[in-house]
């Protein structure tokens, strides 16, 4: 993507927006060939909106409670996103189940980050579930979004060892450090035209990625 024609990215959030901040930082440090065109939150008053405003990015609230049903909200959301001519939609802690109309509309140009080594632990409470299962490692996955919740092809996965004495909070904190590395990297690769989804698979530099996506980390688990 030429520097004078950067990829227009719209970020969807519901909360603190630390992943959004990682993207803002990369963008401001000119490490990402993108334009952060808008940030949209389905919840008013969240910290992520403040982060966007501080960076001079249009910060929009589209409150899902003001819509009669899921499709009504998603349709309005598509209209707002498309008004910013987004080439990529980035879900960064966007806590909504999406309609198939929505996922179809952004097919191949929407990414999500999920705090587990997908396909393990789709859905919520992933850190606690990994601990309860006695796993020795956990992690985070950036994936393309398809109609299946947390189910689209993986782009990048970072592994995090589970240490003795970890609780959900300590584990979540170490996973988040990795989130802030791999999400900007995935967005960069997409903006550079290196990362794509075709025929239901993720490709990097025209090579199909493994089911895990591109792997980062994987330090030996620290077990006695």
Alpha-carbon distance of 51 to 216, in angstroms, equals 27
Q: Decide: 111 and 91 in contact? Cβ < 8 Å.
A: yes
Q: Please say which residue, 1 or 120, places its beta carbon nearer to ligand GRF.
A: 120
Q: Does 42 bind ligand GRF (CB under 6 A)?
A: no
Least distance (Å) from ligand GRF to the CB of residue 26?
Answer: 14
Q: Does 89 help bind ligand GRF (rule: CB under 6 A)? A: no
Among 9, 10, 11, 15, binds ligand GRF (CB under 6 A): 15
d(CA 189, CA 30): 14
What stretches of 33-162 show up as alpha helix (H) in DSSP?
47-54, 70-83, 100-105, 126-132
Instruction: Verify binding: residue 12, ligand GRF, rule CB under 6 A.
Output: no
> Which run of H or of E encompasses 161?
strand 154-161
Does 26 bind ligand GRF (CB under 6 A)? Our answer is no
Task: Tell the smallest beta-carbon distance from residue 68 to ligand GRF (Å).
Answer: 26
Binding-site size for ligand GRF (CB under 6 A) equals: 15
Q: Closest CB to ligand GRF among 99 and 141? A: 141
The CA distance from 68 to 83, in Å, is 22
- Please state, in angstroms and rounded to a whole number, the distance separating the CA atoms of residues 97 and 122: 12
Least Å from the CB of residue 192 to ligand GRF: 23
Residue of the chain from 34, 64, 74, 93 that contacts ligand GRF (CB under 6 A): 93
Stretch that binds ligand GRF, among 16-24, 56-64, 129-137, 205-213 (CB under 6 A): 16-24
Burial 144-174, CB ≥16 within 10 A → b, else e: bbbeeebbbbbbbbbbbbbeeebeeeebbeb
Whichever of 129 and 203 has its CB closer to ligand GRF, that residue is 129
CB-neighbour burial class of residue 97 (10 A; exposed 0-12, middle 13-18, buried 19+): exposed
Catalytic residues: 114
Contact residues toward ligand GRF (CB under 6 A) are 13, 15-19, 48, 92-93, 113-115, 140, 176, 179
């Amino acid at each position: 993507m030429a520097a004078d024609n950067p990829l227009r990215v719209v970020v969807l959030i519901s909360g603190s927006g630390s992943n959004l901040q990682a993207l803002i930082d990369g963008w401001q440090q000119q490490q990402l060939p993108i334009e952060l065109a808008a940030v949209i939150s389905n919840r008013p008053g969240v910290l992520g909106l403040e982060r966007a405003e501080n960076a001079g990015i249009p910060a929009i609230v589209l409150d899902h409670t003001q819509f009669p049903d899921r499709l009504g909200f998603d349709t309005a959301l598509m209209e707002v996103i498309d008004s910013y001519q987004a080439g990529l939609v980035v879900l960064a802690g966007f806590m909504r189940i999406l309609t198939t109309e929505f996922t179809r509309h952004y097919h191949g140009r929407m990414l999500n980050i999920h705090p587990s080594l997908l396909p393990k632990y789709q859905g919520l409470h992933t850190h606690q579930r990994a601990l309860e299962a006695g796993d020795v490692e956990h992690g985070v996955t950036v994936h393309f979004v398809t109609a299946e919740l947390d189910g689209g092809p993986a782009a990048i996965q970072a592994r995090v060892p589970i240490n003795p004495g970890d609780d959900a909070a300590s584990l979540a904190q170490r996973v988040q450090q990795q989130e802030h590395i791999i999400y900007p990297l995935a967005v960069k690769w997409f903006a550079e035209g290196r990362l794509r989804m075709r025929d239901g698979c993720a490709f990097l530099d025209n090579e199909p990625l493994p089911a895990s996506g591109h792997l980062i980390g994987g330090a030996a688990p620290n077990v006695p």
